[in-house]
């Protein structure tokens, strides 16, 4: 029987996991264990701190509902979403518009609008026109590209923050034959990320301001092109440099202009931005998005009340001869 030390325990875990058949799963899990153990050793993690961490992650899970994704918010505020996004963006086949975060407020249930329609039901605040072209990396127009937008209402809140039934300030549009898109909306406000949950507690305990600069999310797709998940950040916002989720970047800052002669709708302030899509690679088809509709992530919603089930029969049988004793039932199939 070997005695583990703070160093050999890591090797023992890696040895036991070495049977993982999927090579990528093996690589990811081995690195996760090595780094997790190194972290615990570096800070000399105490039992009280360890259970505090477990309690925190439990609260993050409990805060998740079909309308709220606290884990994505955690990943966003720790910069992990931005890191994965930046790494993914660097793998595109050709220079094109930069990606930005999908964030926790995207939802699949989004109405479709005709070009030029207003997506905000309540148009208090400043009405703004969004227009421009969707092209390939060389500037050729992409007709019939799908352009999905979502943003806060003029009060700085997303519809989904008021309940899953409310749908506002989001819409799906198509580009015309010349690749043009045209959308009417209201000027979004910078906002606090949700601070009423465990992630908010963490952010506040770190004395961070918890604000995102005003922005409009875009998800743009066309057949054979890499899906573009991005956002436009409004020039002049006070939090462009210190976005709490690290999403804002200089090349995605857009100016709201008055009386732009190029704007197809006259008399309203407007944002003109052209998006370029990179061609899609084989890897892109499997890459997925950094983010998802909370309802899709929370399938089942953790509502099961079953305590512990038996292991699958084939696993229990492979574990060897049936043992007797008080734990025997735990390791048997049906
Ligand atoms: Fe957002």
DSSP secondary structure, 75-144, as one string = HHHTTHHHHHHHHHHTT-SS--PPP----TT--S---B--TT-B--SS--S-EEEEEEEEEETTS-B-TT
Residues, CB within 5 angstroms of ligand 1 (ion): 103
Alpha carbon of 213 to ligand 1 centroid (Å): 9
Alpha carbon of 290 to ligand 1 centroid (Å): 14
15-46: per-residue pLDDT in tens? 999 999 999 999 999 999 999 999 999 999 99
Alpha carbon of 58 to ligand 1 centroid (Å): 25
Please report which helix (H) or strand (E) contains residue 33, including its range.
Answer: helix 23-43
Alpha carbon of 275 to ligand 1 centroid (Å): 19
100, two tokens: 């930005």
Identify the pLDDT of residue 331: 47
278-309: per-residue pLDDT in tens? 999 998 888 887 777 877 777 655 555 566 77
Quote the DSSP letter at residue 277: E
pTM for the structure as a whole: 0.86
Alpha carbon of 227 to ligand 1 centroid (Å): 18
Quote the DSSP letter at residue 212: E
Main-chain dihedrals φ then ψ at residue 217, nearest 5 degrees: -80, 145
103-120: per-residue pLDDT in tens? 888 998 899 999 999 999
């Amino acid at each position: 029987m070997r005695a583990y030390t703070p160093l050999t325990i890591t090797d023992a875990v890696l040895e036991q996991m070495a049977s993982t058949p999927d090579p990528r799963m093996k690589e990811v899990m081995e690195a996760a264990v090595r780094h997790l153990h190194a972290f615990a050793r570096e800070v000399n993690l105490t039992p009280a701190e360890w259970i505090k961490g477990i309690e925190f992650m439990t609260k993050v899970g409990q805060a998740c509902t079909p309308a709220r994704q606290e884990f994505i918010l955690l990943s966003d505020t720790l910069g992990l979403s931005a890191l994965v996004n930046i790494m993914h963006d660097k793998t595109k086949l050709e220079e094109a518009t930069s990606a930005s975060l999908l964030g926790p407020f995207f939802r699949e249930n989004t109405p479709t609008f005709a070009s030029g329609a207003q997506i905000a039901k309540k148009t208090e605040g400043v009405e703004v026109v969004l227009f421009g072209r969707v092209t390939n990396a060389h500037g050729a127009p992409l007709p019939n590209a799908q352009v999905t937008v979502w943003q806060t209402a003029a009060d700085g809140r997303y519809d989904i923050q008021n309940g899953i039934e409310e749908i506002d300030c989001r819409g799906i549009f198509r580009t015309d034959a010349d690749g043009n898109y045209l959308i009417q909306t209201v000027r979004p406000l910078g906002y606090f990320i949700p601070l009423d949950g465990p992630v908010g507690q963490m952010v506040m305990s770190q004395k961070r301001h918890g604000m995102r600069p005003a922005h409009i999310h875009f998800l743009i797709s066309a057949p054979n092109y890499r899906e573009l998940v991005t956002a436009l950040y409004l020039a002049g916002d006070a939090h462009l440099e210190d976005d709490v989720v690290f999403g804002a970047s200089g090349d995605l800052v857009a100016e709201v202009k008055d009386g732009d002669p190029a704007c197809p709708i006259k008399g309203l302030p407007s944002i003109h931005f052209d998006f370029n899509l990179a061609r899609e690679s084989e890897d892109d088809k499997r890459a997925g998005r950094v983010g998802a509709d909370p309802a899709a992530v929370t399938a089942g919603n953790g509502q099961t009340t079953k305590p512990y089930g038996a292991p699958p029969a084939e696993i229990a049988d492979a574990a060897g001869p049936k043992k007797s004793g008080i734990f025997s039932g735990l390791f048997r199939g049906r």
